[in-house]
Amino acid sequence: MLSFYLYLGTAVLLVGIGGLGLWRGPELLRRILALNVIGAGIFMLMVTLAYRPVMQGEPADSVLHALVLTGLVVAVSATAFALALLGRLLTRAD
Amino acid sequence: MQAWLLDYLPLLIVLSSLLPGLLIFTLKEQQVALRTFLNLLGVTLKLVLVFLMWQGVKEGESYYYRIAFLPGADLILQADALSLLFVVLSSVLWLATTIYAIGYLEHSPLRSRFFGYFSLCVSATVGLALAGNLVTFLLFYELLTLATFPLVVHRGTPQSLAAGRRYLAYTLSGGLLLMLGVSLLHLLAGSPDFTPGGYLAPLLASGSILLQVAFALLIAGLGVKAALFPLHGWLPQAMVAPAPVSALLHAVAVVKAGAFGIVRVVYDVFGVEVVRALDLAWPLLFLAAFTILFGSWRALAQQDLKKRLAYSTISQVSYITLGVALLGPLAAVGALVHLVHQGVMKITLFFCAGNYAETLGIHKIRELNGVGRQMPMTSLAFTIGALGMIGIPPAAGFISKWYLGLGAAEVAQPWVILVFVLSGLLNACYFLPVVYRIWFGVQYSAWPSPQRLSSRFETHWMLLAPSMFTLGLILLMGLFASTELSPLSWSELIVEREFSFDD
Amino acid sequence: MALLLFDLVLCALLLLLAGAAMLSRSLTQAVTLFIAFGVMMALAWARLKAPDLALAEAAIGAGLTGALCFTALVRYAKQPAYPQPALWRPLTFIGLVTALLLASLSQIPLQPSSAIPALVQQHLPQSGVSHPVTAVLLNFRAWDTLLELLVLLLALLGARQAPGDLPRYRGWSLSISWSRLLSPLLLLVSGYLLWRGAAAPGGAFQAGALLASGLVILRLNQQLSWLSWRHFWVRMLVLGGLLAFVLAGAVSLLLQDLGAVWLSWPQSIAGAVILIVESFATLAIAVTLTLLVVGEPKPEVADA
Amino acid sequence: MFPALLLVTLPLSAALLMLLWPRFARSLHVTVALLSVPLAGYFLQQILLHGEQQWLLGGWSPLLAIRWQADSLSALLLLLSALLHLLVSGYALAVQARDRLPAAFWPLSSLLLASLQALWLARDLFNWYVCLELLGMVAVALVTLSGDKALKPALNYLLFSLFASLCYLLGVALLYAGYGALDLPLLAGQLEANRLNAMALLLITLGLMLKAACWPLHIWLPAAHAAAPAAVSALLSALVVKGPLFILYLVWTELAPQAFWLPASYLFALAALGALLFGGIAALRTPYGKSLVAYSTVAQLGYATLALAFVLRFNLPEFVAALWLFVLAHALAKAASFLAMGELQQTLGSKQVSALKGASQTMPLAMFAFAVAGGSLIGLPPSGGFLAKWALLLGLWQSQQYFWLLVLAVATLLAAAYVFRVVVLAFDRAEPTAPDFAPQRLPQYLALLPALAVWAMALFSMPLLTLLKQEL
Amino acid sequence: MTIMLMISWLLLALGLMFFLAGSIGLLRFPDSFSRLHAVTKADTLGLGLLVLGLSLQSSWREGLLMALIWLIVMASGAVSCQLLARFSDEQPSESATQQED
């Protein structure tokens, strides 16, 4: 149970750290990384929530796992798109 | 005429100018003949339809056309005696103005656009006259703003654009206030048809503040177009528009829409009883009286002919408001008849001003010296119109002012008569010198930009004929005021039929 | 106790890595730290009994995202260094928000009231697969998955709108031969993952991501030069997953009576349908991700 | 099932085929656009006849499956999207050769339609997340169609959109933590007013407001909408920002506990105030034509936000009606004004507002379309904007919100000011900007079409209100 | 059994020591070649020791799997080490990539 709260807290702190990076930047690449950190925090929160049944000796919540998997793919797609735009922007700048 | 067609009569009257207008927009610049034909077709059709309606209304028939619009507030076009007064005025003057405009703009660019909006403007005015409830009135009131704006900025010069901006700022704010007021009343009492004696009496018991607020909003919204002080600022600037537009704006469309709206609101929405019970007439009365004097006073200082006429309009239109605010039957007759008379007289004056400008390039009053010999017909029309404005007997203006004076006496407001006298004096002060210059002034320099527009007349016949026509109207209305056909008798009919004064 | 210690260390590491990645002065460091963060994350998820996600995170989160970030990093080499902005203001604000979030966490019930896990277990036999995550992804919430494939496709479409002239990497003999050795292995493993997904952790995404990494390695070593959007069958591969999905939906509708709803697989063939859809999806994911990472040999703005 | 399903899958599969065979992209696109409209019309009629319909995708039990639900509001929005999509397709077809519209426009805009339609139908919190993400990425991809000048706004848009999605997702995760469900009807009425739910709803709201460009979270919008090609800006302003608004409305009216309604209404009212005033002022000051229209979107969204705020505060039918009427009217008017403005800029060859000098002579049709659409933005009768404002006014009078009446008045005047700023300039005859090439007529007529439609909207207020199930 | 366990722990500790040494080397060595040297050597050996140590505690199947992993890691470590070395050789101060026409 302590672990549960530990991971929960870590997840939220990760969201916070990501938010900090997103705000502060200064490079766009770091902002994109920051979004990924926020995403990782949220996914971690969801995975931790899915872990709750395990503490009662049941299997983990597979719906949440599926959602996180979906979210992961969405996140990597968005990151790839953002990085492509960023790449073009930087190439053009010089 | 088929019976079913009669049901659509109010709609047809609106469409008779709207459809030609829309068609005209699509015409090319060179298609002069077709455009003129469409214009005249619309005018004729409208006059015929209006005549039919007039016949019907005189015999006590009512026309009613309804389309679903807002929930609880249909779009209603109906004809009662009051609306017909305004419809006839605008249709007849539209005829004159159309002919005048065709002559005036003979060689200028963008005429299709001009005449298109011109027709839209008249459609909106007529729609406004026929509006059967406040929401419909609001609709046409806003459409009128939109249709007149392109006319105001038609010349596309920096001054006209500035005037257009100011015009919009005022009228759109006015429309907004009106919309606020209409929506408030709609919430309080729904939007029933205009009813002689008003429909708000049942609400008196349940609180008066909101009603007062609504009244203030409505009057403020209408006051913008009626150029009530301090909402008059747009009018003098809008003078930069072409002369026919100024004529239409001042005599028929815009300022009259405001004045007509005030009549409707006071008599058919609130009703005299409610207005009295809520003490709403006093502020209006004072405001109108002040505007009369203020407009005249400012007119004195103007050196530009059209500007002087503009301030005169501010003053003269408030006679109507004043007559309404007096809340007496005689004053009401005076107000209504002044609505017509002032329109005809002012349009004549603007036609004449346009003739001077177009033929000789005269804009300033001091340039008028001796113009009477060069353009006698125009100058005669101007003189009669000016005398009428002052209120000198044979002309129509005398009748309305007489009734207004009687009305003031009737409701025991002698100070109002003082206002009339003072204003009459001021009128004389700013009109008589002009008339004097025209006939007796010595021309001290060449005309600014003389043009030879006609070999037979002093100016183009299409400019001259309308002014002669309206001149005739002024005299006829003044001389035959007591006949059955006159605006005076019609106004009396309205007051008798529709206004319910208990005392 | 040991587990808790492990958790503590892991969480601390995660936070440290993320914080350092956000605050480090050099971007290269940031990206490196982020990749390490991704690996640690995969570890955390394995610990939290989410092996599917650990696999996916290792392949997608750390591997591909890392590769993508490094590509972008190259371009920053030419950029002037950015001044480091002040920290205290965002820190105060974010700290406040995080504190609020933390405070709200205490109301999360420890024993979830959700009936969903039980429902999943109950309907698992009818789903055509025995691994619950796969059942959710490809049957219970298949619509999400379809749209997600669409998101992936869109990333590619969007990226193709902004073609950058990618700096090319040139392989040499060792790396080429290593890539030739490695890629069949990856192909094998990804095929295994796909197949295994029906019953155990694994499935289209993990398999696709793994396959993609194999393709990327091959591609970087001058193999597979045909892998370009211009070729019809590459497009076919990219779109195959979605097309198979839509077709399967349509066919299932036709196979069932009129009252059937979208994306309901007939129970008798559900397993087969899911396998087919997943296979195409794996290929699509792999090729899409590859194209996203390595770009195309000659950028073209639009094909007429 | 079939009409609803086809409305989503038709554009989706067509987009896939377009990518597969780019040669047929245009014809496929147009076919689908043409088919979608009658289909959506038929669907609306079905909904009106048989009432609300819903489907559990995959045929699983409610908790497990993703729910689609179509009430008349959804059906109306489906029809609106299909109509505007058809219109914009026509426009794009007319200008594609001249403006060198990239071929990617066709599949992307089909995908935009598909994702919008999917969003209107869904009633599942997580599916909405995927839809939103999809919508955001299509939108960004469409913005990048203008080439390199759009890169920065597009990237900015993408980052904001991603952040917004993440906020939304975090909120959904917190809700799931408490209730273990994602299905909106199942969750409806379940939520207690506790800290966790407050946080969750706050995050969801934040994310959606960011995506819907509610002030002050609108900063990404003007640049992105202004940079996109005209056809795209029209779609983005008219439809895309409405998607999150729709979710926001459903989340608050159906999901959120009543205890949160009042504070939320203050939040929304504040956002509306800022949007109405600052959006209007920004539109008044910007030197660029399309930025003006984009800022007008920000301002106009303020009305919808205001209506939402008062729905939550007073729960009067007037406000619900006003909200959706604003959405409908704004969608049509904004499509018209973006197309018209795009056409003007393209033909006159400048992005500046000042280049519109004399446009009433050189391009009367486009200018007229802009002015007519502007009339609806101002709220002149009988336009849709007027109808919506009328409903709002009635509600405000009824709930005695005099301050907000004043705000509404000021906002209306601001709208009038920025619309007529352009129109007055167009009447300037001194030195009209000469067009770079002969103006095309068809695109101008297409821009006029929605403007005329919105202008007559109040004449159909009764059927519309019946559709929205609201009585004034 | 306990002897096996003790050997296993010993191996694990040794492996960790190599990792530690490698990490210190990575941090402290002056140029990239020496860093590469430290890291790869230490990691290869360290991982091998770990695998060996762990396989003493697990079934033969798991041991085999771990050995496979070790092999693959070693191979890719060799490749990536050479890659880094090549690029730091060709472009001592520039980025680890090269422009191709």
Q: Residue D435 — pLDDT band, cuts 50, 70, 90?
A: confident
Q: Does the pLDDT of residue D25 top 60, yes or no? A: yes
Q: Residue E95 — pLDDT band, cuts 50, 70, 90?
A: very low
The helix or strand, by DSSP H or E, that contains position B3, with its residue range, turns out to be: helix B3-7
The helix or strand, by DSSP H or E, that contains position B4, with its residue range, turns out to be: helix B3-7
Pairing of strands D53-56, D67-70: antiparallel
Residue B364: phi and psi, rounded to 5, are -90, 155
Tell me whether residue C68 is in a domain: no
Long-range contacts of D48-54 (CB under 8 A, 24+ apart): D48/D72, D48/D75, D48/D467, D53/D4, D54/D123, D54/D185
Tell me whether residue C269 is in a domain: yes
Task: Please state, in angstroms and rounded to a whole number, the distance separating the CA atoms of residues B122 and B117.
Answer: 9
Q: Does the pLDDT of residue C70 top 90, yes or no? A: no
Q: What's the whole-number average pLDDT of chain A?
A: 90
CA of D140: how far to CAs of C145, D143, D338, D447, in Å? Answer: 21, 5, 17, 23
pLDDT of E98 reads: 41
- Chains touching chain A at 3 or more Cβ pairs under 8 angstroms? C, D
- Any idea which of B65-74, B294-303, D137-146 has the lowest mean pLDDT? B65-74
Task: Please state, in angstroms and rounded to a whole number, the distance separating the CA atoms of residues B331 and B266.
Answer: 13
Q: Is the dihedral of CA C100, D309, D406, D221 positive or negative?
A: positive
Highest mean pLDDT among B273-282, B387-396, D206-215: D206-215
pLDDT of E89 reads: 55
Tell me whether residue C42 is in a domain: no
pLDDT of D312 reads: 93
pLDDT of D143 reads: 93
Share above pLDDT 70 across residues of chain C, in percent, rounded to a whole number = 94
Chain centroid to CA D131: 15
Q: Is the dihedral of CA B427, B430, B431, B436 positive or negative?
A: positive
Count up the domains in chain A and report the number: 1
Q: Does the pLDDT of residue E14 top 60, yes or no? A: yes
- Chains touching chain B at 3 or more Cβ pairs under 8 angstroms? D
pLDDT of E60 reads: 86
pLDDT of D472 reads: 66
The stretches of C24-172 forming alpha helices (DSSP H) are 27-47, 51-56, 65-76, 88-105, 116-127, 132-135, 142-161
Q: Does the pLDDT of residue C234 top 50, yes or no? A: yes
- E76·C178 Cβ contact <8 A: yes
Task: Please state, in angstroms and rounded to a whole number, the distance separating the CA atoms of residues B157 and B80.
Answer: 42
Q: Is the dihedral of CA B137, B141, B147, B151 positive or negative?
A: positive
The mean per-residue pLDDT over the stretch B414-425 comes to 87
Q: Does B153 touch chain D (CB under 8 A)?
A: yes
Query: Would you list the domain boundaries of chain B?
Result: 341-497
The mean per-residue pLDDT over the stretch C192-215 comes to 86
Chain centroid to CA C254: 32
The mean per-residue pLDDT over the stretch B437-460 comes to 76
Q: Which has the higher per-residue pLDDT, B46 or D430?
A: B46
Nearest to D40 by CA among D2, D87, D66: D2
pLDDT of D20 reads: 92
Task: Please state, in angstroms and rounded to a whole number, the distance separating the CA atoms of residues B19 and B41.
Answer: 11
- C172·E86 Cβ contact <8 A: yes
The mean per-residue pLDDT over the stretch C75-85 comes to 73
Q: What's the whole-number average pLDDT of chain D?
A: 91
Q: Does C155 touch chain D (CB under 8 A)?
A: yes
User: Which residues lie below 8 Å from residue D188, measured CB to CB, with a gap of 6+?
Assistant: D254, D255
Q: Does the pLDDT of residue B503 top 60, yes or no? A: no
- Any idea which of B6-20, C164-178, D282-296 has the lowest mean pLDDT? C164-178
- C167·E99 Cβ contact <8 A: yes
Residues of D in CB contact (< 8 Å) with B are 358, 360-361, 364, 375, 378-382, 387, 389-390, 393-394, 397-398, 405, 409, 412-413, 416-417, 420, 424-425, 427-430, 458-459, 461-462, 465, 471-472
Q: Residue C304 — pLDDT band, cuts 50, 70, 90?
A: very low
* Chain E CB contacts of C169 below 8 Å: 97-98, 100
Q: Residue B498 — pLDDT band, cuts 50, 70, 90?
A: low
The mean per-residue pLDDT over the stretch C58-62 comes to 79
pLDDT of D159 reads: 94
pLDDT of D271 reads: 95
pLDDT of E94 reads: 41
Q: Does the pLDDT of residue C300 top 60, yes or no? A: no
Q: Which has the higher per-residue pLDDT, E37 or D220?
A: D220
Q: Residue A15 — pLDDT band, cuts 50, 70, 90?
A: very high
pLDDT tens digits, C117-134: 888 888 888 888 888 999
* Chain C CB contacts of E75 below 8 Å: 178, 181-182
pLDDT of C303 reads: 40
Gap from D384 CA to chain A (nearest CA, Å): 37
Spatial contact of B239 and B326, defined as CB atoms under 8 Å apart: no
Which neighbouring-strand residues pair with B304?
A: B364
Detail the DSSP E strand segments found in B57-174: 63-70, 73-79
Chain centroid to CA C7: 25
Q: Which of C7, C18, C60 sits opposite A14 (nearest CB)?
A: C18
Q: Residue B188 — pLDDT band, cuts 50, 70, 90?
A: confident
pLDDT tens digits, B97-113: 888 888 888 777 788 88
Q: ipTM of this model?
A: 0.89
Q: Which of D144, D152, D166 sits opposite A42 (nearest CB)?
A: D166
Which neighbouring-strand residues pair with D69?
A: D54
Spatial contact of D19 and D106, defined as CB atoms under 8 Å apart: no
pLDDT of C298 reads: 53
Tell me whether residue C83 is in a domain: no
| Nearest-10 Cα torsion for B108, B109, B113, B119 | 10
The mean per-residue pLDDT over the stretch A25-36 comes to 90
Tell me whether residue C270 is in a domain: yes
Q: Does the pLDDT of residue B436 top 90, yes or no? A: no
Task: Please state, in angstroms and rounded to a whole number, the distance separating the CA atoms of residues C197 and C278.
Answer: 9
The mean per-residue pLDDT over the stretch E95-101 comes to 40
pLDDT of E56 reads: 86
The mean per-residue pLDDT over the stretch B306-332 comes to 87
* Chain C CB contacts of A36 below 8 Å: 34, 61, 65
Q: Residue B502 — pLDDT band, cuts 50, 70, 90?
A: very low
The mean per-residue pLDDT over the stretch A52-56 comes to 86
pTM (predicted TM-score): 0.91
Q: What's the whole-number average pLDDT of chain B?
A: 84
- C167·E94 Cβ contact <8 A: no
pLDDT of A94 reads: 52
Q: Give me the domain span that covers residue A29.
A: 2-93
Count up the domains in chain C and report the number: 1
Vertex D251, ends D248 and D254: CA angle to 5°? 135
Query: Would you list the domain boundaries of chain D?
Result: 258-472
The mean per-residue pLDDT over the stretch B315-325 comes to 89
Closest residue in C to D118 (Cα) is C147
Closest residue in B to D409 (Cα) is B176
Q: Does the pLDDT of residue B453 top 90, yes or no? A: no
Q: Does C181 touch chain E (CB under 8 A)?
A: yes
